[in-house]
Amino acid sequence: MIVSDAHRVAFVHIPKNAGTTVRTQLEPIDSYANFFNEDKAFGALPRQWFGHLTPETLAEHFPDVFEKVRAYDAYAVVRDPFQRFVSATIHRLWEHRGISRFEVTHEHVVAETRRLQVWLLAPVPAERPEYAHFLPQVEFTDFRGERIVNRLFAFEDLAGLEAELRTRTGLPLDFSRARNANLAPSNRWTRVFHRFKPIYGRLTTWQQREAFLLRLQRAGLISKGGFYAKISADRELRAFVERFYAADFELRRDVLSQTNGRPPP
């Protein structure tokens, strides 16, 4: 999360919604000097990534910051709930099961989503830190029925968000430089890329490797589209996401209605 007193703007980082890409470029104006972008425990809060705190948590533990988020122009990115759920699942496979984004398969994702459905529906407090990537997006935009994040942009309209924030802040922003993104799940090209990492990893930086993957993606040699489409054909998974994230689908419809009912090209 970013809060800028000088510009009276805030950026609320919804996990798996391009938040790292946006946040890292807004850090120069952060009035809290990255306090809310660290992994730590603080006071009564257990160890967690502070960039993913919800308004509910802010109101309880940092009421002054919460009031600023509610009073300032607060920005966030809203994503298709199904794509976000799949992206979060891929992230979880890497973080908890050691399966990298270059090795993950359709079968890995579907099997993990079956486990996640049981986990998310269990009677366990949803505010536990490990739930952050799977919390509904409305838990980051709303507070007890009030929408406190008033500047919402579709995931497909990062260019629009970039233009507005560049005008507001004067920063040389470029949100096309994706950070912490699932560039493409496993295929022949990414498996080869991953296999030779011990060799080229010593000779290149992660920025160079990510730039190379982006070039492959733009050339059409790797793509998330087909991978996500195959997973979306799973009716049980689709039905679960539509039920569990019903409020997020409504939120996205509201945001898209501001762009004539469809994502920007």
pLDDT of amino acid 144: 95
DSSP state of 222: S
Q: Does the global pTM surpass 0.85?
A: no
| CA pair distance 184, 213, nearest whole angstrom | 8
pLDDT of amino acid 16: 94
| CA pair distance 172, 152, nearest whole angstrom | 21
Among 205, 238, 256, smallest CA distance to 85 is for 238
Residues 101/179, Cβ–Cβ less than 8 Å: no
HSE, CB side, 13 Å, CA atoms: give it for residue 249.
10
List CB contacts of 238: < 8 A, sequence separation 6 or more: 82, 232
| CA pair distance 125, 130, nearest whole angstrom | 11
Sign of CA dihedral 76, 80, 81, 83: negative
Report the DSSP beta bridge partners of residue 115: none
- Which residues, given as ranges, of the chain have pLDDT below 50? 183, 261-262, 265
Residue matched to tokens 């990537």: 133
Q: How many other C-beta atoms lie within 10 A of the C-beta of residue 64? A: 8
Q: What are φ and ψ of residue 21, in 5° steps?
A: -60, -45
| CA pair distance 62, 67, nearest whole angstrom | 9
pLDDT of amino acid 232: 80
